[in-house]
Amino acid sequence: MRGDAPRRSGDSDYPDDRYSATRAGDDYRDDRYPDDERYGRRETGSHQPLRAQWDPTSREPGRPRAPRPERQVRKQSKLGKFVSVYGWRAYAIPILLVVTVLVAVDAIRGGGSSPESETGDGPGLGALSTATDGTDVIGVPPQADGNFAATIPSGALPDGGPFTAQGAGTWHVIPGGTGQAGQGTEQVFTYTVEVEDGVDTSGFGGDEAFGRMVDQTLANPKSWTKDQRFAVRRIDSGEPSFRVSLTSQMTVRQACGYDIELEVSCYNPSINRVVLNEPRWVRGAISFQGDIGSYRQYQINHEVGHAIGYQDHQPCESDGGLAPVMMQQTFGTSNNDIAKLDPEGVVPMDGKTCRFNPWPHPRG
């Protein structure tokens, strides 16, 4: 054991207490360690601890600040701001505006040709006309060559219940009346409901059931009174505007003609009758493809349409769309079938086929 004096607290590892002087802040350099090998660096100045600057971006006193680079920023236009705010909507809005204008222009140009263009809720009805000498039967195709029954199977009478082949040729009025249906700004049509004597109506509910079907069909908002110009009212006395008459097979042929050997209905102004074919009322039509109730509504609306002035038949307008009520749906809902009846008529042989429709204004 060495005989050195015991070490006291505060003694320095450096001789002559030089370390204490260094801690006291003296600028001291030990020549024995010229590069301060203990700490891996050369002491050059004060031994005060390093301090981080509060603002690392601040410049040292007396040192000029480097100029900031000028940015070339282009001012955004109003259109650019609009696009940046609304994104894809900025392109959609003007497109929708253009489409809306085009639709409005098309509606204005197409307006006024018929009540359909006024209501805009279904297939076209054709031109309204009351010009007639009172003798021509309305609603029957031209005679042409007369060979239609064999070439248009869709016009054949389907199988079904019994009907009256020959009635008496006279009609009786079913008692009853109704209030006015529709506004009738131009015309209020009165009508009677009649059944030919000898026709048995018990198979479809009797005379009263037939009368109710006519009334409910003509008063329906999808029927003719949707057009504000027209109104209807049923009466059972006096002279009506027209008579809705259920008629036997052979009497129909006398009233409507049988140049085409198909069961038809018609409007005959010479006897002021909407002649409804009883065999069709009982059995309907192959081409119609609807239930018998819908066919009866079609039968009423189509022939009453002739009575109020829609004399011309209409073609299928849109392939797969609803057939116009003034199309001869009893014979077919395809233009090709109807064109065979009247090759020189208004229906083109263009292949369009419609779906059955019993109403003038099917969207009510």
For 121-175, what is each residue's pLDDT tens digit?
568 888 887 655 555 777 665 555 545 555 677 788 999 999 999 999 999 999 9
The span from the CA of 90 to the CA of 78, in Å, is 12
6: left (phi over 0), alpha (psi -120 to 50) or beta: beta
What letter does residue 226 receive in the DSSP assignment?
G
Q: How many percent of the chain have pLDDT more than 70?
A: 62
pLDDT given at position 18: 45
pLDDT given at position 155: 81
Residue 2 falls inside a structural domain: no
Residue 129 falls inside a structural domain: yes
- Indicate if 147 and 295 belong to the same structural domain: yes
- Indicate if 167 and 254 belong to the same structural domain: yes
Instruction: Copy the structure tokens of residue 41.
Output: 């660096």
Residue 298 pLDDT > 70, yes or no? Answer: yes
- Indicate if 193 and 257 belong to the same structural domain: yes
Pairing of strands 171-173, 187-196: antiparallel
> Over the stretch 193-235, which tens digit does the pLDDT of each residue have?
999 999 999 999 999 999 999 999 999 999 999 999 999 999 9
Burial of 257: CB neighbours in 10 Å, binned 0-12, 13-18, 19+ = middle
Report the mean per-residue pLDDT for the chain. Answer: 78
- Indicate if 185 and 273 belong to the same structural domain: yes
Return the residue matching tokens 């109730």: 293
- Indicate if 97 and 246 belong to the same structural domain: no
pLDDT band at 75; cut points 50, 70, 90: low
The span from the CA of 276 to the CA of 214, in Å, is 11
Lowest-confidence region among 122-136, 202-216, 242-256, 329-343: 122-136
Return the residue matching tokens 């098309």: 106
> Over the stretch 13-61, which tens digit does the pLDDT of each residue have?
444 444 444 444 444 454 554 554 444 444 445 455 555 555 555 555 5
The answer to whether residues 114 and 126 touch, using CB atoms and an 8 Å cutoff, is yes
Residue 52 falls inside a structural domain: no
- Indicate if 296 and 170 belong to the same structural domain: yes
- Indicate if 297 and 189 belong to the same structural domain: yes
The answer to whether residues 305 and 360 touch, using CB atoms and an 8 Å cutoff, is yes
**Most confident stretch, 37-41, 85-89, 116-120, 222-226:** 222-226
The span from the CA of 226 to the CA of 239, in Å, is 25
Mean pLDDT value of segment 320-335: 94
Residue 149 falls inside a structural domain: yes
Longest dimension (CA), the chain: 161
The span from the CA of 95 to the CA of 132, in Å, is 49
- Indicate if 262 and 295 belong to the same structural domain: yes
- Indicate if 106 and 245 belong to the same structural domain: no
The span from the CA of 258 to the CA of 176, in Å, is 33
- Indicate if 93 and 184 belong to the same structural domain: no
Per DSSP, the three-state class of 153 is helix
Residue 174 falls inside a structural domain: yes
Residue 273 pLDDT > 70, yes or no? Answer: yes
Segments forming the whole domain that contains residue 89: 80-110
Residue 284 falls inside a structural domain: yes
Residue 195 falls inside a structural domain: yes
Residue 330 falls inside a structural domain: yes
- Indicate if 162 and 235 belong to the same structural domain: yes
Number of structural domains (the chain) is: 2
Return the residue matching tokens 């040192």: 63
Closest CA to 217 of 279, 326, 282, 294: 294
- Indicate if 106 and 127 belong to the same structural domain: no
Closest CA to 177 of 205, 223, 206, 219: 219
The span from the CA of 35 to the CA of 49, in Å, is 19
* Strands, E assignment, the chain: 171-173, 187-196, 230-234, 242-247, 266-268, 273-277
pLDDT given at position 338: 86
pLDDT given at position 76: 64
pLDDT band at 91; cut points 50, 70, 90: low
